Structure 1
Amino acid sequence: MNFIPVNVPLLNGNELKYLTECIETGWISSEGPFISRFEDEFSKYIGMAYGIAVSNGSAALDVAIKALGITKGDEVIMPSFTIISPAQSLVTVDAIPVLVDNDPLTWNMDVQAIEKKITSKTKAILIVHIYGLPVDLNPILDLAKKYNLKIIEDAAEMHGQTYNGQKCGSFGDISIFSFYPNKHITTGEGGMILTNNTDLSERCKKLRNLCFEPDGPRFVHHEIGWNYRMTNLQAALGVAQLEQIDAFLIRKREIGKFYHENLAFLESKGFQLPTVKTAYADNIYWVFGMLAPSPLEKEKIVDALSKNKIATRPFFWCMHEQPVFEKMGLFSGESYPVGEKMARNGFYLPSGLGITNEELFRVVAVIKNVFK
C-alpha cells in the first residue's frame, strides 16, 4: 500500500528543459533571464503592471509591508484565522494586527466586521484569501476608499482564481503570492509581489536586495533590507508551471467535484464541505477542506486515514490563540468563535495536482468505511 501525501506537485511540462538550460548556461543564482521572464509573465497573467520575485511568500509580505511604510503603532486589520505569516510580518515592524472573525460559509474574513475595527491608527486592510474562495472584495474596497486605507492582498493560495471575473491579486495596492509546492504553481520555495505603482515596485526591488543603492557605491548601505531574492532556477520552474496553469485549474476543480460527489453523505452527519460557489466566484479548491461537527469526529477520520497511509493536514490556528502572541501580550481576552471552530474542527484531504484518480477513490473508501 503506497503512502498518499497531502500534496504532490505536478512537474510534467517544461520544468526539466528550463532547469537544464539554467545549468548549461551557468545562470543558477539570483541573476538570470528566467527571473525577469517569470516576473513579466506572472504579473501580466494576474493583470498587474509590476512583478517582484522573492524567496517565499512570507518574504513577500515582509517586503510589501515595509514598502508601504507601515511601522510602529500602525494598525492593520486582518483575519484571525489564517497562517501566521501576515501577523508575523506586522509585529516584526512593531505594527499592530487588528483581528476580525471569519465567515462561516466561505471561511474568509468577515467583511461586515471590518468597519467597526477602523480607528485613526488604521493604515491598511490585509486581505487573506483562504483555501479556495476569495474574500468578498467590493465592500472592503469601498471601506478603503472611504477611510483612505491601503489594501494588502494576500493571494498566496489563489493562483488563477477570480473575483467577479477579475484575477485575485490584482485588487491590492500591493499583492503577494506564494509558490510553495502545495500551491497551484510552484517554484519549490518562492514568492511574488505585484503592484501597479512604479515607486512601490522600485522600493520592493531595493528591499529584497539588501537595500543596495542603485546609483551609489555598491557596498554602501543607508538602510536595512533583506536578501530575499529568487534564484534563476526557481524562476525557471515558475515559467514552466505558469504555462500549464489553465490545465491545473481544471484538474483542481475536478478533484473538488469528485470529493463533493463522493463525500456528500457526510453533510447529513454534521460535516461541512467547502462552499462550491458564491455570487462572485467558483471554488478553486486550493485544498479540499472539511469541518467536522466536533474534534472527536475529526480525529475519527484523520486516524482512519493515517492508519491507511493517507496524510491529512489540520486547518490553521487562530492568531489570538497563538502562544507566541499571547507571550507578547497581544489579543488578550479576544474571541473569534467562527475561527476557533474552524481551527479545532477543520482538516483537509490529499488534493495536490499529482494525486491519481485511484488514490482519490482510496481516500473516499477509507472515509466511507469509518461510517459503515
Structure 2
Amino acid sequence: MTKVPFLDLKSLNAPFMDDLKNAACSVVESGWYIRGHYCERFENAFAEYCGVKYAVGVGNGLDALSLMLRASMELGRLHEGDEILVPANTYIATVLAVSAVGLKPVLVEPAENSYDMNPKRLKDAYGARTRAILVVHLYGRLCAMDEICAFANEHDLLLFEDCAQAHGARMSDGRGAGTFGSAAAFSFYPTKNLGALGDAGMVLTNDADVANMVRALGNYGSERKYVNKYKGVNSRLDEMQAALLLAKLPHLDASNERRREIASRYCAEIKNPKVLLPEIPATPSEHVYHVFVIRLKNEESRNEMQKFLAARGIETLIHYPIPPHLQEAYVHEFSGEYPVAEAMAKMILSIPMSPVMTDDEVSEVIGAINEF
C-alpha cells in the first residue's frame, strides 16, 4: 500500500542538505551564537524579501506576536484592557499572545469560503474599547486586506498581522503578508513554508520605534548591555537557526509555486460531491497553501473520510479541532456565540500538502478522496 505522509520534514529539507550543513558548520566555527552576523543577515534578507524596512528575530512565533503587541503598549499606542479583534477560528497562539500582554481578545467569525476573518463581521465585534485588529492569514491565504484596512482606517484602529502560515503570500500589486499593518509576526517552526530546524520567529515593521522596542524587550528589556530600561524577556533568534533559514530563503518562492501546483490539481481533479473545496483566490500568489483544507458536510462525514484515507495510507490532520472559545483555558472568557467557527471545526480536514510531494502521491490522494 502506498504511504502518503501529511508532511515529511526529512524529505522537505533533503534538497538543501549541503547548504544546511555548510551553514551549521560556519556558525559553530564562528564562535558567536546569539544575535551575530547570521541573525543580522537573515533579518535584512527577510525584510527585503517581504518588502518592509525592519525585521527583528525572536525565539518563536508566539513571542513574535506578544512582543509585537507589547512594543505598542510600551510606546503608549495600546493600553492594558484594550480590546483586539482576532479570528474566532485561529490557532490558540494568536489569542494567547493578546492575553499574555494584558489585552482582551474579541473574536470575529470567519468567512466560510476562505476560512479567513470575515470583514463583514468586524462591525459586530467592534466596541467602545476596540483599539486594534489582529488578522491571521490562515492556511497561507491572505485575508481580505483592502476591506479590513478600510475598516481599521475608518475606526482609527491599529492593524497587526499573524503571518505564521503565509510566508511569501502576495497580492497582484506586490503587497505581501507582513506589509499591511503596524507590525507583523512570523513563525519559522519547522513545518512552516519557511521552516527552521527548531523554534524561531520574527517581527516585521516599517516603524523604527516598534523595531527598536521589540529588540530591547526580547533582550531582557535592554538597549545597552547591563542597562535594563524595560521589564523584558529573553527571546532572541539564535545564529544557528538564522543561518539555516538564510540558506533556505532563496528557495521559498519555488517551494510555494509547487504548493500552488498541487492545490490546482486538487481543485481541478477532486470531484467527490461530498467534498467542499476551498475557494481559489483571483490572484494565485495570494495563497501559499501552508495546508490544504477540504470540508465535509458534518463531523461524522469528516471522521469517516479521515478513517477512509488512513486505511489507504494517507495521513491527514485537523486544523483546528477546538476553536479558542471552547478551549478549557478560555472557557470563561468568551460569552458570545460563534456558530461558523464551531461548524468549521467539525467539518474541516487537512490533506497532504508539501512541495516535495510527487505527482503520484498527489494522484493517490485525489483518487482516494474521489473513491470515498
Q: What's the TM-score once normalised by structure 2's chain length?
A: 0.91
- Post-superposition Cα deviations, 1:227-250, rounded to whole Å, max 9, x if no partner, equal 111111101111111111121121
Alignment partners' CA distance in 1, 2:193 and 2:113: 23
Alignment partners' CA distance in 2, 1:149 and 1:15: 42
Taking only the aligned residue pairs, the percentage that are identical comes to: 30
Aligned to 2:102: 94
Alignment partners' CA distance in 2, 1:184 and 1:144: 28
Aligned to 1:35: 39
Alignment partners' CA distance in 1, 2:289 and 2:268: 14
Unaligned 5+ segments in structure 2 are none
The answer to whether residue 343 in structure 2 is matched with residue 315 in structure 1 is no
Alignment partners' CA distance in 2, 1:282 and 1:43: 19
The answer to whether residue 82 in structure 2 is matched with residue 49 in structure 1 is no
What is the 5 A alignment of 1:14-163? 14-27=19-32, 29-69=33-73, 70-163=78-171
Secondary structure, counterpart of 1:335 in structure 2: coil
Aligned to 1:211: 221
Check whether the contact 1:134–1:281 (CA below 8 A) recurs between aligned residues.
no
Change in CA separation of 1:360 and 1:148 when aligned onto 2, cut-off 3 Å? same
Match of 2:193 among 166, 184, 197: 184
Alignment partners' CA distance in 2, 1:202 and 1:125: 22
Alignment partners' CA distance in 2, 1:213 and 1:205: 8
Judge which range, 135-144 or 352-361, deviates more: 352-361
Secondary structure, counterpart of 1:109 in structure 2: coil
Amino acid at match of 2:300: L
Q: CA offset at residue 225 of structure 1?
A: 1.5
Aligned to 1:8: 8
Amino acid at match of 1:106: S
Aligned to 2:333: 330
Aligned length: 360
Check whether the contact 1:209–1:229 (CA below 8 A) recurs between aligned residues.
yes
What is the 5 A alignment of 1:282-297? 282-297=286-301
Unaligned 5+ segments in structure 1 are none
The answer to whether residue 176 in structure 2 is matched with residue 171 in structure 1 is no
- Post-superposition Cα deviations, 1:2-45, rounded to whole Å, max 9, x if no partner, equal 75332234222322221221123233x22331101110000111
Alignment partners' CA distance in 2, 1:306 and 1:40: 43
Amino acid at match of 1:18: A
Amino acid at match of 1:346: I
Q: RMSD value over aligned CA atoms?
A: 1.9
Alignment partners' CA distance in 2, 1:80 and 1:198: 31
Check whether the contact 2:80–2:103 (CA below 8 A) recurs between aligned residues.
yes
